[in-house]
Amino acid sequence: MKINFSTISERLADAFSEREALVNIERSRRYTFREFHLLTNRIVNMMRQKLDLQRGDNAVIILDNDNASLLHFFTAVKAGSPLCYTNYRDSLDDHTYQVDTVSAKVVFIEADLLESHYDMLRERQVTIVAMDRPEKEYQGVHYFWDLLEQVDDSNPNVVIDDRDDVVIMRFTGGTTGRGKCAMYTADTYLACRDSYWALPDPAWTPETRFIHLAPITHGSGMMFAPTQFKGGCTVTMNVPDLDAWCDNIAAERITNGFAVPTLLYRLLDMDEKGRARFKTIENMYYGAAPMSPSKLAELQAAFGNNFIQVYGSTEHFGVALSMSKADHLVEDGDDSHLASAGRPSPFTELEIMDDDGNPVPRGETGEIWLRSRAIVPGYFGNPEQTASEFQDGFWKSGDIGRIDERGFFHIVDRKKDMIISGGFNIYANEVESALNSHPAVLMSAVVGVPHEEWGESVRAEVMLKEGAEVEEAELIQHVRNELGGYKTPKSVEIVEEIPTSVVGKVLRRQVRQKYWEEAGRKVG
């Protein structure tokens, strides 16, 4: 369908004119709906007039939450040229790969990354736009707010097809450790919005004030559109600090938020004065890992029954499964469903399939396939992977699950060996590659093992080269230097043998099985 999102944005500005639309905590920026509409107009006009971003050109966004919010949904759909969002905290190697994958013409980047990224971007003849002026000058770097000077705020009036034109791209991890670049149309994002509005709990009104602690360039960004289109306010913060998050919730009168269970567990250590900062919270969404039933009971006692679980993904950018507030109340003593990923959302089709793509009987395990408007059209520049993972409108999630007698979906394993620890997606091959690059290491196996707070923690078993010696702590530090903190194994064990197949492939399932069996959890 042809649509001009400049007009849509203008009508929102008419309806909610002086209400706050966007608040950036660290940089103390506040925009009403009218101001945000006009600012995004100016940004798009600047990109087209001064950066010559046109149809077919791609721009990469390497920004923290507050700056990324300025180039979020309405900027992307008004421009008509795709904006590719990345994780600001990814490594230089990851960002290089992402810039190369989409053949970026322009990169919007935080000034504090110029020292590490400048040479790479200049080598690729990329137009560099720093959001703030750095302490020293860099030749050829443009500054965002300077570029906006003398640019008018008239509607760009770019007409796009909301189902065919790609306006946003995001990278997801792969089993090789390299991300696939998922493509989104405008309707993909609107489907995400609609999936939240369709949930049983009426959580979105013009009074909604939603705080984003997690990156809006990733999962937290799913809540951007449902808030904005209802006339609510989006509040962003950059620093992943629990006390700052709680203070901001109180100061900004936050009604809605999103957190991984790990973060919520930490709230239980607060005294009554600390917990009082949450008195305005009405809806706390959580995802990325199941909630511990015992800790959920403690959280409900402390904060009330305000919790809603959601399950989505990069490829299904909307709520596929959820547990409502009512689902979180246990009345018959059976709380087994609280360890599930929830029931299907109203317009999402889910099936448990066998290896041949046929539905399995209820109660049996198979791969979870999803189909709805929120499914992405595929991966940019990767038709082979698109053909492999998408079939008849379904996306093959790679999650192995089952449906119980009440219709709750339980995820029992991951076909793609993804580890979810504290809400972060970690891929075993990537960590193994870092370990194997140490001169003393022959081979390694990386798995997720049960962890009470994090859901899973990263554990590595390592075989050394003959005659080599190394301390486990050195290997942990080596991975931290290569990949950063959250992907680093929490524990490493040096072993004599690692199970392999006849062709020498590491059998992670055998490594993982002993840890999950000890915890009384099913491996698959």
Chain segment 405-446, per-residue pLDDT in tens: 999 998 876 666 677 777 777 777 778 878 888 888 877 888
Q: Which of residues 290 and 367 earns the better pLDDT score?
A: 367
Band (pLDDT 50/70/90 cuts) for residue 173 is low
**Alpha-carbon distance 259 to 415, whole Å?**
25
β pairing state of 321-323 and 307-311: antiparallel
Q: Are 218 and 240 in contact (CB under 8 A)?
A: no
Q: Which residues contact 176 (CB under 8 A, 6 or more apart)?
A: 427, 429, 430
Roughly what angle, to the nearest 10 degrees, separates helices 5-16 and 33-49? 160
Q: Are 318 and 225 in contact (CB under 8 A)?
A: no
Band (pLDDT 50/70/90 cuts) for residue 523 is very low
- 443-475 pLDDT, tens per residue? 788 888 888 777 788 999 998 887 889 999 999
pLDDT computed for residue 38 by the predictor: 98
Return mean pLDDT, the chain. 90
pLDDT computed for residue 90 by the predictor: 86
Q: How far is CA 217 from CA 63, 148, 221, 237, 297, in A?
A: 9, 23, 6, 13, 31
- 309-353 pLDDT, tens per residue? 999 999 999 999 999 999 998 877 778 888 788 999 988 999 999
**Alpha-carbon distance 23 to 25, whole Å?**
6
Band (pLDDT 50/70/90 cuts) for residue 518 is low
Largest Cα–Cα separation, the chain: 73
pLDDT computed for residue 522 by the predictor: 42
Strand, helix or coil at 334? coil
Across the strands, what pairs with 353? 359, 367
| Model confidence, pTM | 0.81
**Alpha-carbon distance 208 to 3, whole Å?**
27
Band (pLDDT 50/70/90 cuts) for residue 514 is confident
- Rounded mean pLDDT of 392-397? 95
Closest CA to 381 of 121, 183, 167: 183
- Rounded mean pLDDT of 488-497? 91
Q: Which of residues 272 and 256 earns the better pLDDT score?
A: 256
**Alpha-carbon distance 154 to 39, whole Å?**
10
* Dihedral sign computed on CA atoms, order 199, 201, 206, 207: negative
pLDDT computed for residue 415 by the predictor: 66
